[in-house]
Amino acid sequence: MRFLGTGTSFGVPVVGCRCAVCNSSDPRNRRSRHCLSLEGDGPALLVDTPPELRLQLLKAGISEVGAVFLTHMHADHLHGIDDLRIFSLRAGRPVPLYVADEFAGTLRARFDYIFDEDVKQDPGSSAPEIDLQTFALGDELDIAGLRLTPLVFPHGLMNSYGFRCGSLGVIVDGKSIPDAALAVLQGIDTLVINALWWGDPHPTHFNVEEAIAAARSVAARQTYLTHLTHRLDYEELKAKLPPGIEPAYDGLVVDV
């Protein structure tokens, strides 16, 4: 598993901000918008397509994408979808993209130039070719050589979907772990979970204290915090976290 991006919707540095974290020389404090890559023997499985996707893939040296799992429809997790174009062009086939069935209509409407065959392309231009696959809770997905169990988490007015994949559990955006998801996550070895900052509760995301409590309820051996804001310095956060929990950073590779 590779963390391609570990920031929130603003990213870090935040445009125009003069805080210590935004001006830090520590590369672990530079956070692009969220993206994970699960890499096995074949092409990578991407979790989300953020606006920096092209730059993230170049930095990581990822030249093949086998499929994409979209967690939800917020722009910071989705609006780099056009960067999938090179993979369909190069492979000569559509890129499989998996999304919860409740989001399929929104996705087709927002990116009609991709999904509506009646939308004409300008001469010499192209759009990503996407093989849209929908799923519902209870489905088991075989994606890019991996088996995923989708899980749903409350995220304000919108659901957000994570998953269990073998010994790995992923909660990208969420505010709590429903009992049904908690039951599926029991016994995992590695957990990825969002955490904005210390202190102030947020209506749609875990803060650090809530993420720690959620991680303890799952009881994974190792937990990585992601979706971090500029209110969190990497070294300071790492020093304050309990054993078995640490912050992720862009480029971190974890063997799961």
Q: 161-212: per-residue pLDDT in tens?
A: 999 999 999 999 999 999 999 999 999 999 999 999 999 999 999 999 999 9
- The mean per-residue pLDDT over the stretch 233-250 comes to 98
Give the per-residue pLDDT at 99. Answer: 98
Cβ neighbours of residue 141 under 8 Å, at least 6 residues apart? 69, 98, 135, 147, 148, 149, 150, 163
Give the per-residue pLDDT at 93. Answer: 94
Tell me the one-letter amino acid at 197: W
Q: Which helix (H) or strand (E) holds 218?
A: helix 208-218
Q: Are 81 and 65 in contact (CB under 8 A)?
A: no
CA distances from 72 to 22, 156, 171, 211, 219 (A): 27, 12, 12, 20, 26
Class of domain 2-136+148-247: alpha beta
Per DSSP, the three-state class of 110 is: helix
What pTM was computed for the model? 0.96
Residues in the chain: 256
Q: What percent of the chain has pLDDT over 70?
A: 100
Give the per-residue pLDDT at 194. Answer: 98
Tell me the one-letter amino acid at 4: L
pLDDT tier at 70 (50, 70, 90 boundaries)? very high
Tens of pLDDT along 50-65? 999 999 999 999 999 9
Report the relative pairing of strands 65-69 and 95-100 from DSSP bridges. parallel
Tens of pLDDT along 132-168? 999 999 999 999 999 999 999 999 999 999 999 999 9
Cβ neighbours of residue 61 under 8 Å, at least 6 residues apart? none
- The mean per-residue pLDDT over the stretch 74-95 comes to 96
Cβ neighbours of residue 38 under 8 Å, at least 6 residues apart? 1, 44, 45, 47, 144, 146, 165, 168
